[in-house]
Amino acid sequence: MSPDWAPATALDRRGFLKLGAGSAAAFTLLGASVQLAGCSQQAAPAAAGFRWLTAADLPFARLLVAGVAGSALPADPAIADAALEEGARRIDICLDALDAPAQKEVRKLFDLLQWAPFRRFAGGVAKPWTEATAADMQTLLANLSASRLGLLNGAFRALAKIGSVVFWSQPVAYPLARYPGPPAWAVAALNA
């Protein structure tokens, strides 16, 4: 006799095994679809002139800098474009300097953000990064930041730190930060 509080649809052993087998099949299918959809680009070589970023990463890296810089990005299109290109190069240098486990995690994040279903549902960006704008990147960052999932919040923090460091460390951003630049004697000592 079952107690009065027992649920009407108790999970017996057979149901538990079916649930486990179904879940395993679903996760296997999801993993295979991610691999086949091109989400994992771990074997992709670095783009020409770069150490770590792939050709698919470059539009994303430029937009990351533009999205984080926001209105601080120079109004002159030529200067802004140069700042975005320098930002992508600095992202490449920073990520190349990470240790292997950290590089692996960032690679997973970058590959996941290239995958259209994730980009659309978790980040709110339907366009591929080659067609997206700085506003789209800001939408992605806002959605990752506002997510109830700690993993997505962590992705936001990582992307915001990367974008902030590479933009605000450029000489074009010094006047905005009221930073006069390194002292001349320090530059001379480094170049000697």
| pLDDT for 16 | 72
Same domain, 30 and 115: no
Same domain, 96 and 24: no
Domain housing 167:
57-180
Residue 164: inside a domain, yes or no?
A: yes
Same domain, 31 and 61: no
> How many structural domains does the chain have?
2
| pLDDT for 17 | 77
| pLDDT for 174 | 84
Residue 21: inside a domain, yes or no?
A: yes
Same domain, 106 and 31: no
| pLDDT for 1 | 52
Give me the residues of the chain with pLDDT under 70, please.
1-10, 22-43
Same domain, 121 and 88: yes
Asked whether the CA dihedral 168, 174, 176, 179 is positive or negative, the reply is: positive
Same domain, 63 and 21: no
Same domain, 79 and 169: yes
pLDDT tens, 146-172?
A: 999 999 999 999 999 999 999 988 888
| pLDDT for 53 | 94
| pLDDT for 44 | 83
| pLDDT for 93 | 94
Same domain, 90 and 35: no
